[in-house]
Structure 1
Amino acid sequence: MTLEYAGKTFSAPLELMNFAARHVPGALKLSLEMAWPYRREDWEFAAMVGQGLVLERAGEVIGTAMWWNYGEAYASAGMIIVTASAQGGGYGSRLFDGLLEATGGRSVLLNSTEEGLTLYKRRGFTAWGTVHQHQGLLNAVVTPNARDDVRPATVSDLAAIQVFDGRATGMPRPSMVAALADVGDVVVIDKEGRIAGYAIARRFGRGYVVGPVAAENAEGARLLILAQLATLHGQFVRIDVDAEHGLSDWLESLGLERVSHATAMVKGQRPVSDRAARMYALANQSFG
């Protein structure tokens, strides 16, 4: 944007600042420009549970970069966008460098599109896996397995779910899990009073997202996903799964097409699950 004064034209100054509630409309405009299906509510939720930076010029948001704090050692990053008219000017690098500084030396996780790989590799990120994005209208009638150990969660389950999530991710995420559970529907695997897995389904984007899904094995993950899908017939559903666990062909058999992939990357030390609990589907590609 340019300003005119006394017959002369000046470029408006570019400011890097902390993301605030007033930036949500501008951030939503950016994501719509990128054809990312975020709703205003999705931006508001992301800002509530995390923090971020914006590049602003004369009140206009031209770039965003968000991050979420998982204890003293880890963070995840995402929702990194620069408006098309400003791309190629080093703005993405300025935003991302500011984000890395804000994370305070934590190991940072992110899921990168092909377009972002070069920037992240230059900043010391290394690839460690692949995330498959599945989505579509759920036209198949899904019948959950009739098992007594899969049930809706109760408020009293939250602490055990948070512990299980920490085991599955290798990171302390109690605040994130509590926030997701507060806005979503949660099912658990209950092994005689011991939580052995959980899945959350919530409104997101064009419909619903199923994730996180954490379980002790792939069979448990499928049971939890089926329990959630059984309530979502006719809805648009998205699930982002770790490619190494082999759920993609099964999800496609249910009508949830694999539409894209992202490269899982880390700068620093990758968190490790305790192997008796694993994360099978993400809350979304930004939160992890």
Structure 2
Amino acid sequence: MTLTSSGPAWPDSPCHSTALRDLGEPDLPAAWALSNALQWPHRLADWQAFLQLGEGRAAIHGQDLAAVGMRWAWGEQAVSIGVVIVASAWRGQGWGRRMMQALAQGLDDRALMLHATEEGRPLYEKLGYEPVGTVHQHQGLARQAAGAALPHGWHLRQARPGEAPSLAVLDEAARGFPRGRLIAHCLAEAVQAMVLEDSRGACGFAAMRRFGRGLVIGPVVAPDRVLAQALIDRLLGSVAGQFVRIDLPGDPVMAGWLADRVLSQVGVTTAMVRGRRPRGDGVLFGHALVAQALG
């Protein structure tokens, strides 16, 4: 799946000197500046990873990046859309809508997924996206905790080199669509990654990597909340005193549990889907996102 150029001028552009084209590596410092202006925590390295994993559009006005957005395809079933930003000078002129339409081009047969801020949600609803839940951002300085007790027969171990394909199968079972390249990236960049096992073998995993202002835990895949907590506790305990973020689907029990570990809730976004919502197998579940843009 590749985005195609719309030509020298953005159709129906507020200004004919604005061109819409593929987002490239040279555009990333300007994209990073747009996210910094919104006080989003992304590093330039995070933008570089986003582009390596997906593709995007850039609206160029003169020599300036006026708007940006990205998408990531997961097999033939689903696509995530994220980091859609319009520069402050050009807001309120329909550029957000045009960027969203460009990113959705050619994807009528796939589920389109995103996480909406309060400001962005009205536009996405007008474009046919429906709310399906919430995502809660927790962050703070990790502290050593007693650790969630594992039920009998379960244990944790470090992820092994070359294990990404088998762990990607677990992620697909939990999500309902394949994200093999993303899981391989998370494990390759991981400061630490843990695997959950019982007598059948691997039944879940969690990874922690550098992102934004410090570290982020995600994805977390496990059969239930208790086992997910054991994975998260092991990772938190290894980085006591460091800044850690985790984005999890709305779950008041998990939210309270994280607050006890001094990871306070600092934000909420709305999970939205256009098209048929993918569903996992009902045995494994995703307990934390890789990133709000990526899902």
TM-score bucket (shorter structure): over 0.9
Give the count of matched residue pairs.
277
Is structure 2 residue 194 aligned with structure 1 residue 190?
Answer: no
- Alignment identity in percent? 34
Q: Which residue of 1 aligns with 2:212?
A: 205
Q: Secondary structure at the match of 1:247?
A: helix
- The match for 1:266 among 266, 270, 273 is 273
CA distance in 2, matches of 1:152, 1:100: 39
Q: Which residue of 2 aligns with 1:101?
A: 105
Q: Which residue of 2 aligns with 1:38?
A: 42
Q: Please, what TM-score do these two structures have when normalized by structure 2? A: 0.90
Deviations 1:141-193 (A, max 9, x none): 23445767111100243222111000000111111111111111211102135
> Given residue 257 of structure 1, which amino acid in structure 2 is its aligned partner?
S
Is structure 2 residue 149 aligned with structure 1 residue 142?
Answer: no
Q: Secondary structure at the match of 2:120?
A: helix
Q: Which residue of 2 aligns with 1:286?
A: 293
Q: Which residue of 1 aligns with 2:248?
A: 241
- The match for 2:186 among 147, 161, 180 is 180
How many angstroms does 1:54 deviate by? 1.1
Deviations 1:48-84 (A, max 9, x none): 0011111111221111111111011211111011111
The runs of 5 or more residues in structure 2 that have no matched partner are 1-14
Q: Is the 8 Å Cα contact of residues 245 and 280 (structure 1) preserved in structure 2?
A: no
How many angstroms does 1:104 deviate by? 5.5
1:1-288 equivalences in 2 (<5 Å) = 13-103=17-107, 105-138=109-142, 140-144=143-147, 149-184=155-190, 185-192=192-199, 194-244=201-251, 246-288=253-295
Q: Is the 8 Å Cα contact of residues 111 and 285 (structure 1) preserved in structure 2?
A: yes
The runs of 5 or more residues in structure 1 that have no matched partner are 1-10
CA spacing shift, 1:36–1:83, aligned 2, 3 Å: same
CA spacing shift, 1:247–1:145, aligned 2, 3 Å: closer
Deviations 1:98-156 (A, max 9, x none): 00115463210111111011110011000111111101122x22344576711110024
CA distance in 2, matches of 1:246, 1:142: 17
